[in-house]
């Protein structure tokens, strides 16, 4: 009898845990999707309907885990971890972007900045590689990635592809390359996960 009571107590104790875990998983999925409409809207606005908005969501996951209150040690803010100076530059063109701390304007400004970087690599990088250069420039700065492409060309690598940048990265001066290469990889992994989910 005591053994039956122990088994029943275990079963009843385990049931709420499973229900709580399921509820927590549903909350996490809802939290992760809460900015989807914003990513879709500004991806379409700045990149057109053909560009997959989930690339920018993957970037937001890599930057902050989609946390609008995130702050970095160097002063970057929000979902897209924008520096206040970058946001201010964008705000001069888009005064409706009221606050860096508003998730909508933070995401919009991040995607708008991505568009600038996307266009920057238009004539030098193949289309299927360009998003890697865009994200790397977002993380390390366009000057750093430009230096990396120059080192790749000087090293007589065939063309400017991301694999060339990965090869020469340790030789590029003034670049914390492990962070940037990891950042691009993280975005690609998150994007892969997001595209297989939907």
Q: pLDDT in tens for each of the 198 residues of the chain?
A: 566 555 445 444 545 565 555 544 455 555 789 999 999 999 999 999 999 999 999 999 999 999 999 999 999 999 999 999 999 999 999 999 999 999 999 999 999 999 999 999 999 999 999 999 999 999 999 999 999 999 998 887 667 799 999 999 999 999 999 999 999 999 999 999 999 975
The answer to whether 106 and 59 have CB atoms below 8 angstroms apart is no
Where are the domains positioned within the chain?
2-197
Place of tokens 């991301």: 162
Distance CA 170, CA 70 (A): 30
CATH number listed for the domain at residues 2-197: 1.10.530.10
CB burial of residue 51 (10 Å; 0-12, 13-18, 19+) = middle
Q: Which residues have a Cβ under 8 Å from the Cβ of 20 and sit 6 or more positions away?
A: none
How much is the pLDDT for 103?
Answer: 98
How much is the pLDDT for 7?
Answer: 47
Q: Which two tokens stand for residue 76?
A: 């970057």
């Amino acid at each position: 009898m005591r053994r039956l009571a122990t088994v029943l107590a275990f079963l009843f104790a385990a049931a709420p845990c499973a229900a709580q875990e399921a509820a927590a998983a549903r909350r996490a999925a809802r939290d992760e999707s809460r900015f989807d409409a914003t990513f879709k809207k500004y991806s379409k606005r700045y990149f057109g309907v053909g560009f997959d908005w989930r690339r920018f969501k993957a970037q937001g996951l890599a930057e902050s885990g989609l946390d609008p209150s995130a702050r970095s040690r160097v002063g970057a803010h929000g979902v897209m971890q924008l520096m206040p100076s970058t946001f201010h530059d964008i705000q001069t063109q888009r005064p409706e972007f009221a606050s860096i701390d508003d998730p909508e304007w933070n995401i919009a400004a991040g995607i708008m900045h991505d568009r600038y970087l996307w266009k920057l690599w238009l004539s030098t990088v193949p289309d299927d590689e360009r998003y890697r250069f865009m994200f790397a420039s977002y993380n390390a700065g366009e000057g750093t990635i430009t230096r990396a492409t120059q080192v790749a060309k000087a090293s007589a690598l065939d063309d400017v592809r991301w694999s060339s940048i990965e090869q020469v990265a340790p030789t590029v001066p003034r670049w914390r390359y492990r962070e940037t290469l990891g950042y691009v990889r993280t975005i690609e992994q998150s994007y892969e996960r997001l595209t297989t989910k939907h």
